[in-house]
Amino acid sequence: MTIFNVCPTLRDSSCRAFDRCCRFLPCLSDPARRSALFLKVALVMVHLIYAGVLFLFDGGLIEKTKREPWYTGIYLALFVITLVQYFVTSGSSPGYVLDAMRTVNESNSVFRKTATVSKQPASSKGSVVVTVEGSQLGRPLLTNNGTPWTKLVLDLYPSGTSVRSVTCSYCNAEQPPRSKHCHDCDRCVLQFDHHCVWLGTCIGMGNHCKFWWYICEETALCLWTGIQYITYLKSNISNAWWKDVIMIVLLITLSISLIFLLLLLLFHSYLILTNQTTYELVRRRRISYLRGIPERVYPFSKGVCRNLYEFCCLRSSKYRMESLPTALELEEKSRPYSCTDVVTCRCC
């Protein structure tokens, strides 16, 4: 009887303690945010373990640090930059459709009020609009049929496209081309690439560049750490066997991670050069506007140089959207390469 009387008391006190903890830390009340927080803590701990074991076991590295402090300084700087880039990427917005829709509608309402008060032509007033590829570039969106966002989205599709066919059944918002609803984030993402579990967020138009730089820095850090582990094993293989076992186990897991990161870096570099996303590449036959396009044709590619420029230099605009290519553009992109195209750098 005592056990049955004590257990409910312990259970109630544990629940009250957890509720108080959730009150001070709101992120613990949401299971998704709680798991994302634990993953972030686990990733930081893994980084600290790999670097800590290296400095703890390798006495030669300590001596080298005294002789050449710049070497260890650069390594530690890369270590810190990688972790900072991880948290910056995980905390950045991928570019949500609802945020873009709110920006467009609010900008249009401000423009209407300004035009009404000043009684001046609309073209003489500056207005904050979403940067868009196509006919709506830098112009206020005024329409009598639906919201400005609805007209903007429909202008990105071929004529005759119905509003219902581009409306998300979950968010009840019109999706621009290349957008998709993420069930993990429960939001529609512009230029959706994938949902990254380790980052706890989606990768889209707003943070794809940050994500690529994080993969690049993480790959460089893993490669440098692996070289340090191999250097230690070569010079200290005859010392304490238990240290060698720990270092070998860590080196094996590090090598597996390095292979995965290298493949991921190459894969996303290919996507950047061809202006594709992971979702478009994997689910190409399920996307209506990509279903009839040959696989070797990249409908949104503007050439390697232009793709790199837009990816690196125009990613500050999280709401920059692209219209679907016309039939003539697709026909031009599907045309086989000739010797003249190679000389004139058509791919660039």
Name the residue type at position 111. Answer: F
DSSP string, 87-152: HHHHTS---BHHHHHHHHHHHHHHHHHHHHHH---GGGS------BSSTTTT-----SSS-HHHHH
**Is 196 considered catalytic here?**
yes
- Catalytic entry in 7, 196, 216, 347: 196
Q: Of the candidates 321, 262, 254, which has an alpha carbon nearest to the alpha carbon of residue 99?
A: 321
The conformation of residue 303, written as its DSSP 8-state character, comes to -
> How many residues are given for the chain?
348
Exposure string of 322-338, with b = 16+ CB inside 10 Å and e = fewer, is: bbbbeeeebeebeeeee
Residue found by looking up tokens 């629940």 in the block: 15
- Which stretches of the chain are DSSP H helices? 2-24, 31-57, 59-67, 69-90, 97-118, 148-156, 208-236, 241-274, 278-282, 304-313, 327-333, 339-343
Bridge partners of residue 182, in order along the sequence: 187
Residue found by looking up tokens 């230690």 in the block: 232
Residues serving a catalytic function are 196
